Amino acid sequence: MHGSRRFCLAIALACSALVASGCSNLGAVREFAASSARMTDYRAATEHYLDSADRQLTELPAAERFDGTREQLKALKQVTARDKATLLKLHATTTGYMRALARLAGADAYSVSSEIGKVARAIETSEALGIDEDHVDAYANIARRVSDWALAARQARDVRHLVTGNGADMDKLLEAMQRATEAYGIVLEQEIAAYDAMADYRRAVWAAELPGDPALTPERREVIATLLRRSELADREAQRQARKAQRAAARGLERVRQAHADMLRNVDRLDTDQVQDLLRAAADDLKSIRASIEDL
């Protein structure tokens, strides 16, 4: 009997050692997935894109010469209103997946948080953002399999199973996010160009001398011109920062997708030194990109 107990204890200790070894061997997966989750959950660039039309319409002069711009912005507002739900679902679903991977690859792999995130149903195509039917289908595939990433992680109980089951479709969602974030840059560039035209108009209006307005002395005009210059400087700096953040976000998502593809291709070799080195390098890159965004 004592011999049987000793044998059972030895088996239990061996299993514990294997689990601990597996978790430590997947440390690079954990680092990469956690860094990726911070990147996919970064929403400031998305929010800036979604707010672009309203931001510009608020500042647009009432002059007739801007009527064409006004109509374009109203059309953009309709597009962004339609895109909003899809973009937020992409953020949530990719982040939930990466957080689930990080938990499964960690020492607490068998205690996955219920707060990782649920998967909402269906996204829509967006011609403006390059989100097509393939992306919609990939999201639908994941939504059919997964209602909650915490539950999916518990059921998978292993990083490899979660990646094998969802990795190909997740690659398409990461592609959709990357395309969308790159497309934000086009809207930001258009916003900058429109602002330049609007700023020129404002300066011309205040510099013009109108008859019957003696209260607007040269001194007061200079004060107004100074205030306009200061306002323009602040606005242009905000635009520059937004553009830098958008570019960094696009670069980060590209890196996430690249390393995730490496992980998917090597899903049966995740504990090898070569794959761990690839994933740790990606994690370091993502941390650097995220830090550059936070420094803005």
- 77-101 per-position pLDDT tens digit: 999 999 999 999 999 999 999 999 9
Phi first, then psi, for residue 11 (nearest 5°) are: -60, -45
What is the arithmetic mean of pLDDT over 103-112?
68
pLDDT on residue 10: 43
Q: Picking from 111-125, 150-164, 198-212, which range would have the lowest pLDDT averaged per residue? A: 111-125
pLDDT tens track for 228-271: 899 999 999 999 999 999 999 999 999 999 999 999 999 999 99
pLDDT-based confidence at 21, cuts 50/70/90?
very low
pLDDT on residue 5: 52
Q: Whole-prediction pTM value? A: 0.85
Q: 271-289 burial, b if ≥16 CB within 10 A, otherwise e?
A: beeebbebbbebbebbbeb
pLDDT on residue 11: 41
- 10 Å CB burial of residue 152 (0-12, 13-18, 19+) is buried
pLDDT tens track for 197-214: 999 998 888 777 766 677
Q: Which residue has the higher pLDDT, 109 or 105?
A: 105
- 10 Å CB burial of residue 236 (0-12, 13-18, 19+) is middle
pLDDT on residue 174: 98
What is the arithmetic mean of pLDDT over 151-161?
90
pLDDT on residue 219: 79
- 10 Å CB burial of residue 148 (0-12, 13-18, 19+) is middle
**How far apart are alpha carbons 194 and 177 in whole angstroms?**
26
**What is the per-residue DSSP string for 166-229?**
HHHHHHHHHHHHHHHHHHHHHHHHHHHHHHHHHHHHHHHHHHSPPTT-TTS-HHHHHHHHHHHH
pLDDT tens track for 54-75: 999 999 999 999 999 999 999 9
pLDDT on residue 157: 85
The terminus-to-terminus CA distance of the chain in angstroms comes to 67
pLDDT on residue 3: 52
pLDDT on residue 154: 87
pLDDT on residue 126: 97
Side chain identity at residue 247, one-letter code: R
pLDDT tens track for 2-11: 455 544 444 4
